[in-house]
Structure 1
Amino acid sequence: MGEVNLNRLAVFVALVRAGSFTAAAEQLGQTKAMVSQHLARLERELGVTLMVRSTRRMALTEAGAVFHADCVRILGETEAAIERVGENRETPRGTLRLTAPVNYGAMVVAPALAGFLRMHPEVRVELVLDDGISDLIGGRFDLAIRGGPLRDSGLRAVRLAGFRQLLLAAPSYLAARGRPRRPQELAQHDAILLSVLSSPAHWTFAARNGTRARVRLMPRALADSAAAVHAMALAGAGVAVLPDFMVDADLAAGRLERLLPTQRLPEGSFHAVYAGLHAPAKVRAFIHHLRQVIAGNAD
Structure 2
Amino acid sequence: MDGINLNRLAVFVALVRAGSFTAAAAQLGLTKAMVSQHLARLEQELGVTLLVRSTRCMALTEAGAAFHADCARILGEAEAAIERVGENRETPRGTLRLAAPVNYGAAVVAPALAGFLRLHPQVQAELVLDDGISDLIGGRFDLAIRGGPLRDSGLRAVRLAGFRQLLVAAPAYLAARGTPRRPQELAAHDAVVLSVLSSPLRWNFTARDGTQQRVRLTPRAQADSAAAVHAMALAGAGLAVLPDFMVEADLQAGRLKPLLPAQRLPEGSFHAVYPGHAPSAKVRTFIDHLRAGIAPTPRRQSTML
TM-score, normalisation: structure 1? 0.96
Q: Provide, for residues 142-165 of structure 1, a one-character-per-residue CA deviation record: whole Å limited to 9, x for no partner.
A: 111111122242111111111110
Deviations 1:12-68 (A, max 9, x none): 111111111111111111111111111111111111111112233222112111111
- Counterpart in 2 of 1:92? 92
Contact 1:51–1:64, Cα closer than 8 Å, also in 2 = yes
The 8 Å contact of residues 97 and 141 in structure 2, kept in 1 or not, is answered as yes
> Does structure 2 conserve the Cα–Cα contact (< 8 Å) formed by 1:2 and 1:46?
no
CA distance in 1, matches of 2:19, 2:242: 75
Residues of 1 paired with 2:163 and 2:3: CA distance?
Answer: 58
Partner residue, 1:125? 125
Provide the residue aligned with 1:295 in structure 2: 295
- Amino acid aligned to 1:210: G
Aligned to 2:22: 22
Contact 1:2–1:45 (CA under 8 A) maintained in structure 2: no
SS in 2 for 1:270: strand
Aligned ranges 1:178-197 → 2 under 5 Å: 178-197=178-197
Letter in structure 2 aligned against 1:34: M
Q: How does 1:24-39 map to 2 (within 5 A)?
A: 24-39=24-39
Q: Runs (4+) of structure 1 moved beyond 4 Å?
A: none
Number of the residue aligned with 2:66: 66
Aligned residues: 297
Q: Secondary structure at the match of 1:77?
A: helix
Residue 275 of structure 1 is matched in structure 2 by: 275
Q: What amino acid sits opposite 1:225 in the alignment? A: S
Report the RMSD for the aligned CA atoms in angstroms: 1.4
- Aligned-pair identity in percent equals 84
Q: Does the aligned pair in 1 maintain the 2:190–2:238 contact within 8 Å?
A: yes
Would you say the 8 A contact 2:194–2:226 is kept in 1?
yes
**Where in structure 1 are there 5+ consecutive unaligned residues?**
none
Other-structure match for 1:42: 42
Conserved? CA contact 2:160–2:295, under 8 Å: no
Q: Deviations over 1:118-158 (max 9, x none)?
A: 11111111111111111111111111111112224211111
1:211 aligns with 2:215: no
* TM-score under structure 2 length normalisation: 0.94
CA distance in 2, matches of 1:3, 1:277: 34
Is contact 1:170-1:236 (8 Å) kept? Answer: yes
Secondary structure in 2 matching 1:135? coil
On the 8 A contact 2:191/2:218 being kept in 1, the answer is: yes
| Map of 1:239 onto structure 2 | 239
Shift of 1:185: 0.8
SS of corresponding position for 2:161: strand
Within a 5 Å distance, the mapping from 1:94-109 to structure 2 comes to: 94-109=94-109
Separation in structure 2 between the aligned mates of residue 52 and residue 195 of structure 1, nearest angstrom: 76
Give 2:268's aligned amino acid. G
